[in-house]
Amino acid sequence: MKLADIAARIEGRLSGNGETEIRGIAAIGEAQEGDITFLLNRSFERQLPQCRASAYVVGQDADQGLLIGRNFVVVANPDLAQAIAAELFQAPRTFDKGTDGRAHVCKTASVSPEASILPYAYIDEGAVIRKNVVVYPFCFVGREVVVGEDSVIYPNVSIYDRTIIGKRVIIHAGAVLGSDGFSYVWDGRRHRKKPQLGVLVIEDDVEIGANTCIDRGALHRTVVEKGTKIDNLVQIAHNVSVGENSVMAAQVGIAGSVSLGKHVVLGGKVGIADHVTVGDNVMAAGGTGITKSVKANSIVGGNPHMAQRDWLRMQAYLKRLPDLFERMRNVEARLSPEGEDDRDR
């Protein structure tokens, strides 16, 4: 692919030879002749002297003097440009249309002839699989599940009964969707299970990471709205509502009946207590414990959560505690009357 074509696709300003042939993308520390690489921020500039890439994509704040004699493309957002360029080099994997003879499709299931059902998948009664869906081996698609067009279900995914999955959804290996919520009541002798009668709805363009678990609703539904991206090893409990275009990193745990707004960002290991409302555009740092509702546009951290600026200030104080403690001991020693028993100091 010619560099000029790539520059046009990423909407960048080209400096250098647009006829340069680009064969692939590589990190700046590994790029060789024929590669294009991306300086995602100014810190990457120190690696330029050793880099042998054929072309560079840089932000508008880059020191272009360091790139004299090299081919480079200036863009508004190098991170976005990298994502767009990577799509150009990603070789799509294709499968034969139809159902492999080693898969099992129940009689009342409806599978589009344009879907690809691979060996050892199981499609239960009443399930609906739309066109261009790919179901990898060893997947279970439960009773009356609906899977929308162009969705991909990777190996060993289990989709429980009546789950609804939208278009262009990606579900990575080992995910469990629509399982029972964790709901019990003590009857005086034992924990009695409360039947989970609701459903799980996954809207269009959602991506769900490996080994993530999302429970069905207790009486109504759990919903993950369109465009949301969920990392590996995430737990979302029953009755949760996740707003559109939200993002959550690995090991997030969301308890039952939580409502997340739109464009929420949760760092790794964030925990959210039950029946909490988190407003639009909230950002929570990794490890945050959210114990009560958070208003829109907040940035929080710590456990229990607080404004990020307060949490950062507390972390700075925490590092100084040993020194402050020693200073206090010295002050107390000077203030204590001579000969006073100091065993409690």
Residue numbers annotated as active site: 238
| Contact predicate 98/118, CB 8 Å | no
Q: Which residues contact 294 (CB under 8 A, 6 or more apart)?
A: 276, 277, 278, 279, 282, 284, 300, 305
Q: Which residues contact 6 (CB under 8 A, 6 or more apart)?
A: 22, 36, 55, 73, 85, 88
Tokens found for residue 307 = 């404004």
Long-range contacts of 202-205 (CB under 8 A, 24+ apart): 202/163, 202/164, 202/165, 202/166, 202/169, 202/177, 203/166, 203/227, 203/228, 203/244, 204/148, 204/166, 204/167, 204/168, 204/169, 205/166, 205/167, 205/168, 205/169
What backbone phi and psi angles, to 5 degrees, belong to 335? -85, -20
| Contact predicate 141/126, CB 8 Å | no
Nearest partner of 181 among 226, 233, 219, judged by Cα: 219
- Separation between Cα atoms, residue 199 and residue 222, nearest integer Å: 6
- Separation between Cα atoms, residue 343 and residue 179, nearest integer Å: 59
* CA gyration radius, the chain: 27
